[in-house]
Amino acid sequence: MSAPGTGRAAALTSLALTLMVGLAACDSKEKNGGAAPGGPGTRTVEVALTDAGCEPAKLELAAGAVTFKVSNKGTDKVTEFEVTDGNRILGEVENVTAGLERSFSLDLESGNYLLQCPGGSSAARGTLTVTESSAAPAADVDLRAAAERYRQYVQQQTGLLVSTTRTFVKAVLARDVAAAKKAYAPARIPYERIEPVAESFGDLDPAIDAREGDVPATEWGGFHRIEKSLWMGNTTTGMAPVARKLLADVTELQQKVRGVRLDASQIANGANELLGEVSSSKITGEEERYSRIDLVDFKANLDGSRAAFDAVRPALHKRDSDLGAKIQTRFEAVDRALAPYRQGAGYTPYNRLSDADTRKLSQAIDALAEPLSEVSARLVGS
């Protein structure tokens, strides 16, 4: 997970087609109305990251599909842009450092949303007003089917998460260190597979998955608090209340995902978000600092990304079959790159990997992320 201090709860999105861009902060209408990479039906909004924050900080759009093209204009204070609905992040880009540009696409329904550029001085928060649009088309049957396929996957994984976490918590409460260590990785896997969905629910993600230093020490709990006690202290002492709350939080997550709105662009963005999780924390060894099971998380993120891609692939095939084939080939390449590190039911501990090992894995992930990042725009541009 990313640090909650960045405003994150992370990324899954919402879909569509047609917009009017009211850039009040720039005093111009439809300045950013050019065609998006996704196709002739998509419009693009350009957002700049500056020391102030989001530029523009006020947008007015008609309901429908929009691609946000986010570029960093040389600031090292702001590297993230989010569109949020209440405390749910609908879409975001992270790690947009100076000179970089990243995009994501959404299908926006009418309503009021927030723009967030954490770290900005005067424009860290902005507004997005979305109005009704008579031009918005009915949802494509293929896109609805994609959403339903992925919903079933997420519900299956949250059910597994509750089950495996219950086993983990039972061992912690029994003060059985060996059993708790054994149950830790299986409980982590389903969470990492659906991390973008989990992160979209405000405070639940940091409660479940915050790393040490991500939140104030008095608020730190969840998986990694127990992980530290098990591997650094070889004890469960003091972890009973942490374990009980963890089980309550994953159970709440299971309940929340039953009503979450999902659509095809949202799912495609989530597939790419999972690869971002690999690059930002798994491949660097930051996630599992004490147990060193980072490659288990790596594989779970990859599995979740593939499941999201598989859900939207039939719809993508009708729009760009070559892109779908390229992505499938690169998923297979990442599998091959990871295979040498398999050890029984797990993977080589992260601290045994060389720089050459991590570089090879990182290159495979980057090669996959590049075409996968194009999927949401292809879907909304149909």
pLDDT at 284: 87
pLDDT digits (tens, 9 = 90+) for 26-59: 333 333 433 334 444 558 899 999 999 999 999 9
How much is the average pLDDT of 189-212?
90
- Asked if residue 282 lies in contact with residue 294, where contact means CB atoms within 8 angstroms, the answer is yes
Task: Decide which of 382 and 131 is more confident.
Answer: 131
The angle at the Cα of 268, spanning 366 to 107, to the nearest 5 degrees, equals 135
* Topology adopted by domain 18-131: Immunoglobulin-like (2.60.40)
- Asked if residue 29 lies in contact with residue 371, where contact means CB atoms within 8 angstroms, the answer is no
How much is the average pLDDT of 232-245?
98
How much is the average pLDDT of 1-16?
38
Pairing of strands 39-49, 64-72: parallel
pLDDT at 332: 97
Q: Regarding the domain with residue range 141-380, which homologous superfamily does it belong to in the CATH classification?
A: M75 peptidase, HXXE motif (1.20.1420.20)
N-term to C-term CA, the chain? 32
Report residue 370 as tokens: 């590049």
The angle at the Cα of 160, spanning 158 to 161, to the nearest 5 degrees, equals 60
- Closest to 228 measured CA to CA, from 281, 283, 174, 288: 288
Cβ atoms within 10 Å of 171's Cβ, excluding its own:
20
pLDDT at 2: 47
Q: Which helix (H) or strand (E) holds 184?
A: helix 177-193
The interaxial angle of helices 294-338 and 264-277, nearest 10 deg, is: 100
pLDDT at 202: 73
Entry pTM:
0.74
pLDDT at 159 over 80: yes
CB neighbours of 343 closer than 8 A, spacing ≥ 6? none
Pairing of strands 54-55, 39-49: antiparallel
pLDDT at 209: 96
CB neighbours of 249 closer than 8 A, spacing ≥ 6? 204, 207, 208, 222
Q: Which helix (H) or strand (E) holds 328?
A: helix 294-338
Task: pLDDT band for 381, please (50, 70, 90 cuts).
Answer: low
- Asked if residue 41 lies in contact with residue 382, where contact means CB atoms within 8 angstroms, the answer is yes
Q: Domain ranges in the chain?
A: 18-131, 141-380
Q: Which residues of 337-358 are buried (b: 16+ CB within 10 A; e: fewer)?
A: bbeebeeeeebbbbeebeeebb
